[in-house]
């Protein structure tokens, strides 16, 4: 059990008038207890109360596993498939004095189960996302080292994928290669967006069937978890050749990325960083083509706090870790993104964790 | 757009006093619109109203993709990372007359977003799980054919994995092989539980690190999606040899599986099927070791209606498809499960889709 963070969480819950937190299976549960079971449609999760009491509720089929995962001080209550889940869980919540109380939920909690419980048991559920993220927003030295190692892993894989990619391969071929190489190096919870040609214009493109053609643009946004901490990097490269327009747009995105990264320092106002990236794009008439935030926090989850956006009016502090990833997206036409993970390190200095080149790369 | 099922859904919503349904990215969304985007922490989903009106709400970064996925008759409303999501979405819900109304949510809807929306916009959300599952509970001829093809795929992979498995391999090696073979045959959304030795005693075991030893039991529960329809099968085999106790327990589980499958026919009362499986186990003193339901419905999702359990008092009807998967689970000691997909087919007859042998298999 990660007692340091559990204590921090309890402190933060108290400040926010929350009586307990429900943490469903996820990287977040693993962060607190060291393990996470499979999440199917059967309600389960760890409850952490502000008085320090903890208990776990799950379907009987997970009971044996959860007893192995948890210390004896955390009882496991089970419901059976033949039971009405809300009745069994309702009794447990009542036993722990949670009836009529407010319980936060983490991001993996399923709405249909939480709503059923809320209407049947007289408990109020609210989003616990921000509180859970606040608890781990300042990364320790060990966590920063974990992020460095994860970033190094994807940097190494990027070198290899540049040697691998050839016209005639599909996006799926490149994805498979990235997965294989990240796995070889100890990565897990793998993901990759591989988008060629106009597909890169959809920032979270999920397809994989297009064949890479000569003169295509190829956007690769990929990452994994290494020892519980996440990596996330994007580079956009050119196959065979790049047009003048493509080179120009690439240079603008690179300038935007570098302008935002140059603003990163302890005490910097987050909206200013977002603005710096947009200002460069705007200078060339591309202000409207950055259709998302400039960055997201990263750590135990791939997306967490601090978000780098205009509507997050806070200052950067020591230990914060986040992406800087401006892009130009013109739907159905072209997409270019350059993304690094950047931290305010132990010395309070800006440190860019990804070392992969951002110079224009044309693969011949 | 799957208009036949949308019309069915609307009918069912009306009968259940629901004003609209929210369907978040998932196989369920794909079922209705043919595609599903990535699901990150940003709220998005399709709203289907009982008056037939539909609209999609998503973050701006998904806007271009969703406009490609949806017909022009379904408008896409976007919110920007810099916006307060609940304000933008609240205005859209108001425009469509949904303020103060009741909206169902599918199983992939995220609690933290749904709760934020509920408190900020004056909409009531409830679980829409059962209604969505009811709409597709009677499989058409084409859907049954899809389930047959998916079952055949895993049957073929099972033959191959029996040739592959050797002592000294890890559970992960076997998982990788299953994934590779399912992919080769056109499967996607792959998953596998591979548990050797005592690990099989945890029905949803998620580990993969144990090395398969001589005389181990090996439980393999795996499946994938093929052309939108799911496969799911479990076989438990023995490495090198099996003890008398293991052979006895295997025979009991096999008898239990066959007794339950023999009860499957049009008009059969579902709790009787659950009871038949348990009765066999109970006869040998193992009534308590079947710690979950005897089966789950299957179709576009791996788990859907009808659940085969005592607390689901309804009759089997033509077109229903479900697993029969009794097991013996003694935590930390031994686990055996045999699972087939069974349907009430077009002629109203029982049809067991998985043809893999259930005889005791000892891999030499």
Instruction: Give this complex's ipTM.
Output: 0.95
Question: How far is it, in rounded angstroms, from Cα A354 to Cα A147?
Answer: 10
Q: Distance from first CA to last CA of chain A, Å, rounded?
A: 51
Q: B40 to chain A: which residues are within 8 Å by CB?
A: 204, 303
Find, among A321, A329, A311, A312, the residue nearest to A253 by Cα.
A329
* Assigned token pair, B261: 């499958």
Taking CA–CA distances from B201, the nearest residue in chain A reads A64
Question: How far is it, in rounded angstroms, from Cα A190 to Cα A330?
Answer: 27
Count Cβ atoms below 10 Å from residue B192 Cβ, excluding itself: 21
* Three-state secondary-structure class, residue A127: strand
Report CB contact under 8 Å: B303, A41.
yes
Report CB contact under 8 Å: B202, A332.
no
Contact (CB, 8 A) for B132 and B338: no
Report CB contact under 8 Å: A109, B110.
yes
Second CATH level (architecture) for the domain B141-363: Alpha-Beta Complex (3.90)
Chains A–B, number of C-beta pairs less than 8 Å apart: 151
A3-135 adopts what CATH topology?
Creatine Amidinohydrolase; Chain A, domain 1 (3.40.350)
Q: Distance from first CA to last CA of chain B, Å, rounded?
A: 51
Report CB contact under 8 Å: A112, B105.
yes
Question: How far is it, in rounded angstroms, from Cα B64 to Cα A190?
Answer: 25
A84 phi and psi angles, rounded to 5 deg: -90, 110
Report CB contact under 8 Å: A81, B293.
yes
Q: B85 to chain A: which residues are within 8 Å by CB?
A: none
Between CA A34 and CA A40, with CA A39 as vertex, the angle to 5 degrees is 160
Question: How far is it, in rounded angstroms, from Cα A141 to Cα A143?
Answer: 5
Interface test with B, best of A78, A105, A112 (most B CBs within 10 A): A112
Query: Shortest CB distance from B303 goes to which of A40, A68, A126?
Result: A40
Question: How far is it, in rounded angstroms, from Cα B81 to Cα B94?
Answer: 21
CA distance to partner chain B, nearest, from residue A36 (Å): 9
The per-residue pLDDT for B217 is 98
Count Cβ atoms below 10 Å from residue B185 Cβ, excluding itself: 17
Report CB contact under 8 Å: A129, B307.
no
Report CB contact under 8 Å: A292, B60.
yes
Report CB contact under 8 Å: A111, B116.
no
Find, among A31, A262, A188, A80, the residue nearest to B291 by Cα.
A80
In whole angstroms, what separates CA A4 from the centre of its chain? 22
Determine what percent of chain A is predicted with pLDDT higher than 70. Answer: 100
Instruction: Name the region of B16 (left: φ>0; alpha: ψ -120 to 50; beta: rest).
Output: alpha
Query: Shortest CB distance from B109 goes to which of A60, A80, A112?
Result: A112
Report CB contact under 8 Å: A41, B107.
yes
Q: A115 to chain B: which residues are within 8 Å by CB?
A: 105, 111, 114, 125-127
CA distance to partner chain A, nearest, from residue B322 (Å): 15
Query: Shortest CB distance from B64 goes to which of A36, A107, A332?
Result: A332
Query: Shortest CB distance from A61 goes to which of B37, B126, B291?
Result: B291
A238-261 core/surface letters (b: 16 or more CB in 10 A; e: else): bbeebeeebeebbebbbbbbbbbb
Report CB contact under 8 Å: A37, B204.
yes
Contact (CB, 8 A) for B71 and B62: no
* Assigned token pair, B237: 């085999």
Find, among B163, B213, B26, B20, the residue nearest to B99 by Cα.
B20
Tell me which residues of chain B have a pLDDT lower than 70.
none
B233-265 core/surface letters (b: 16 or more CB in 10 A; e: else): bbbbbbbeebeeebeebbebbbbbbbbbbebbe
The per-residue pLDDT for A218 is 98
Find, among A124, A139, A219, A136, the residue nearest to A171 by Cα.
A219
- Indicate the pairing of strand B340-344 with strand B321-324: antiparallel
Mean pLDDT of chain A: 97
Report CB contact under 8 Å: A204, B37.
yes
Contacts of B340 (CB under 8 A, 6+ apart): B233, B257, B261, B323, B324, B325, B352, B353, B354
Q: A60 to chain B: which residues are within 8 Å by CB?
A: 291-292
CA distance to partner chain B, nearest, from residue A364 (Å): 30
Report CB contact under 8 Å: A115, B110.
no
The per-residue pLDDT for A285 is 97
Determine what percent of chain B is predicted with pLDDT higher than 70. Answer: 100
The per-residue pLDDT for A146 is 98
The per-residue pLDDT for A246 is 98
Q: Around A233, how many Cα atoms within 13 Å sit in the side-chain half-sphere? A: 28
- Indicate the pairing of strand A20-23 with strand A45-49: antiparallel
What are the sequence ranges of the domains in chain A? 3-135, 141-363
Question: How far is it, in rounded angstroms, from Cα A39 to Cα A48?
Answer: 19
Query: Shortest CB distance from B309 goes to which of A81, A107, A332?
Result: A81
Report CB contact under 8 Å: B129, A112.
yes
Query: Shortest CB distance from B37 goes to which of A107, A126, A206?
Result: A206
DSSP B313: -
Find, among A109, A137, A144, the residue nearest to A123 by Cα.
A109
The stretch A66-94 carries a mean pLDDT of 97
The per-residue pLDDT for B258 is 98
Taking CA–CA distances from B192, the nearest residue in chain A reads A38
Question: Which pLDDT band, with edges at 50, 70 and 90, does A41 fall under?
Answer: very high
* pLDDT tens digits along A222-280: 999 999 999 999 999 999 999 999 999 999 999 999 999 999 999 999 999 999 999 99
Interface test with B, best of A83, A111, A287 (most B CBs within 10 A): A111
Question: How far is it, in rounded angstroms, from Cα A41 to Cα B141?
Answer: 27
Question: How far is it, in rounded angstroms, from Cα A318 to Cα A137?
Answer: 10
CA distance to partner chain A, nearest, from residue B3 (Å): 24
The stretch A137-160 carries a mean pLDDT of 98
Question: How far is it, in rounded angstroms, from Cα B151 to Cα B223?
Answer: 8
Query: Shortest CB distance from A115 goes to which of B37, B126, B311?
Result: B126
Q: Is the dihedral of CA B245, B251, B255, B257 positive or negative?
A: positive
Report CB contact under 8 Å: A112, B127.
yes
CA distance to partner chain B, nearest, from residue A44 (Å): 13
């Amino acid at each position: 059990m990660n007692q340091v963070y559990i204590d921090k969480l309890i402190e933060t819950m108290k400040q926010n008038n929350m009586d307990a937190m429900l943490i469903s299976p996820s990287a977040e549960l693993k962060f607190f207890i060291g393990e996470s079971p499979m999440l199917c449609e059967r309600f389960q999760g760890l409850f952490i109360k502000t008085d320090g009491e903890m208990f776990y509720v799950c379907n009987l089929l997970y009971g044996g596993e959860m007893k192995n995962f948890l210390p004896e001080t955390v009882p496991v209550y089970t419901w059976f498939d033949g039971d009405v889940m809300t009745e069994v869980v309702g009794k447990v919540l009542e036993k722990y004095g949670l009836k009529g109380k407010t319980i936060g939920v983490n991001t993996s909690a399923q709405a249909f189960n939480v709503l059923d419980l809320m209407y049947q048991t007289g408990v109020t559920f609210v989003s616990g996302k921000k509180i859970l993220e606040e608890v781990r927003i300042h990364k320790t030295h060990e966590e920063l080292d974990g992020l460095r190692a994860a970033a190094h892993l994807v940097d190494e894989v990027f070198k290899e994928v540049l040697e691998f990619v050839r016209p005639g391969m599909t996006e799926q071929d490149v994805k498979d290669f990235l997965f294989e190489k990240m796995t070889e190096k100890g990565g897990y919870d793998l993901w990759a967006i591989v988008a060629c040609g106009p597909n890169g214009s959809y920032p979270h493109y999920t397809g994989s069937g297009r064949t890479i053609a000569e003169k295509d643009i190829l956007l690769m946004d990929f990452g994994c978890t290494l020892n519980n901490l996440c990596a996330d990097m994007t580079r956009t490269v050119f196959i065979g050749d790049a047009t003048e327009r493509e080179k120009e747009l690439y240079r603008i995105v690179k300038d935007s990325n570098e302008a935002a990264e140059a603003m990163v320092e302890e005490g910097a106002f987050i909206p200013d960083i977002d603005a710096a990236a947009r200002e460069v794009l705007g200078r060339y008439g591309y202000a409207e083509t950055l259709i998302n935030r400039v960055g997201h926090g990263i750590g135990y989850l791939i997306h967490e706090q601090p978000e780098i956006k205009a509507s997050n009016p806070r200052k950067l502090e020591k230990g914060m870790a986040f992406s800087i990833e401006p892009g130009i997206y013109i739907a159905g036409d072209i997409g270019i993104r350059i993304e690094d993970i950047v931290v305010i390190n132990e010395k309070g200095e800006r440190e860019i964790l990804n070392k992969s080149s951002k110079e224009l790369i044309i693969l011949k």
